[in-house]
Amino acid sequence: MSSDLPLLVVAAAAIIAAAVDVRTRRVPNVLTGAIALIGVGIAAAGLGRVGVALSVAGCVVGLVLMLPGYLIGATGGGDVKLLASVGTLLGPAPTLRAFVASAIAGGLIALFVAYRRGRFGATVAGTAALMTSAGARIDEIKSAQRDNRFAYAPAIAVGVIVAALT
């Protein structure tokens, strides 16, 4: 990055979004909108590592990568908008890295949450059923009775910070 400003904004935005999501189970539109505006603004001012075109491309990459998870009910809309908005600060390639790192962090968090809820074995079995059915067993994720849901913004925070530092 040409300055530390984008890194500071990425870290602050990700940490704030994670804290809000853990507390309220939502990532507010006002937060993701502000992050996107700040990201494009930093790009337009020439203060980041990407220009406006790559800033917008980072947003699109974040949106495209997270949208399928939302469409099948695995993530919330705020999670989609969070990665898309932070993508304006990162650009397309780092946003892809952030997505991969977020998926790894999310998997680890899911295992920890399942263990804490006394559902580790059931969660691993449900995940195996989902994977071997090529998504046909989406009920393993979506069912409220399965107690599988958790705030995903912390995983995204880990992913975007890792991507910003690499």
Q: Distance between CA atoms of 22 and 36, rounded to whole angstroms?
A: 21
DSSP state of 117: T
Q: 21 and 67 in contact (C-beta within 8 Å)?
A: no
**Lowest mean pLDDT: which of 31-40, 106-115, 151-160?**
106-115
Report whether pLDDT(96) > 90: yes
Spatial separation of the C-alpha atoms in residues 156 and 9, rounded to whole Å: 14
Exposed (0-12), middle (13-18) or buried (19+): which is 166, by Cβ within 10 Å? exposed
Band (144; pLDDT cuts 50, 70, 90) = low
Question: Does pLDDT of 140 surpass 90?
Answer: no
Q: For tokens 């406006």, what's the residue?
A: 52
| Pairwise pLDDT comparison (129 vs 7), residue with the higher score | 7
**pLDDT beyond 50 at 86:** yes
Place of tokens 């937060």: 31
**For 56-68, how does the pLDDT look when each residue is reduced to its tens digit (9 = 90+)?**
999 999 999 999 9
What is the reported pLDDT for 142?
A: 57
Provide φ and ψ at 7, rounded to 5°. -65, -45
Q: Is the pLDDT of residue 106 over 70?
A: yes
Residue with the bigger pLDDT between 81 and 113: it is 81
Distance of CA 139 to the CA centre of its chain: 22
pTM: 0.85
What is the residue extent of each domain of the chain? 5-165
Banded pLDDT at 139 (limits 50, 70, 90) = low
Within a 10 A sphere around the Cβ of 4, how many other Cβ atoms? 10
